[in-house]
Structure 1
Amino acid sequence: MSQKSTQKEKVQENETEKEKETTTKSNKAKTKKTGQFSKHLVCGICGELFYQTVIITKCLHCFCGGCLSTYFQENDNEECPICNVSDLQVKNFELLDNLVRDFLLENPEKERKKEILEELNKKNGFLDENKNNKEETEKKKKKKKKKIEKKKKIEKKKKIEKKGQSKTKNSCSICSLSGNQIQPIKEYNLTKLPKSLFSYNKFERGVLVKYLEDQDFSFQDMWEQIMKALENGAYSSTDAPNFHNLSPNDKSCESCLEGVVSELIYSYRTNIPNSELPPKITKRQNCWYGRNCRTQKKYDHSSKLNHICEQTKK
Structure 2
Amino acid sequence: MEGLGEKKPWGKLSRLLGAETEAASELFLCKKEWTIGRKKGCDLSFPGNKLVSGEHCKIIVDEKSGVVSLEDTSTNGTVINQQKVVKKQTYPLKNGDIIYVVYKKNEPENNVAYLYKSLNSEQDNMQELADNISAVTAMKNQPEQHPSTGLDDGPSIQTASVASLTSDAEQDGQPPPKKKLKYEVDCPSSHAPPPSSNVKGTSEDAKPSSVKPDKMEETLTCIICQELLHDCVSLQPCMHTFCAACYSGWMERSSLCPTCRCPVERICKNHILNNLVEAYLLQHPEKCRSEEDRRSMDARNKITQDMLQPKVRRSFSDEEGSSEDLLELSDVDSESSDISQPYTVCRQCPGYGRHNVQPPPYPPPLETDASQSTGDAPSTSATFPAVTQEYVCSSQGSHVICTCCFQPMPDRRSEREQTPHVPPQQCTVCLQSFCHMYWGCTRLGCFGCLAPFCELNLGEKCLDSVLNNNNYESDILKNYLASRGLTWKDLVHESLAAIQRGVFMLPDYRINGSTVLCYFCGLRNFRDLTYQYRQNIPPAELPVTVTSRPNCYWGRNCRTQVKAHHAMKFNHICEQTRFKN
Same fold flag (TM > 0.5): no
Structure with the higher fraction of residues in helix conformation: 1
Higher relative contact order (CA 8 A, sep 6+): 1
Q: TM-score, normalised by structure 1?
A: 0.43
The higher radius of gyration belongs to 1
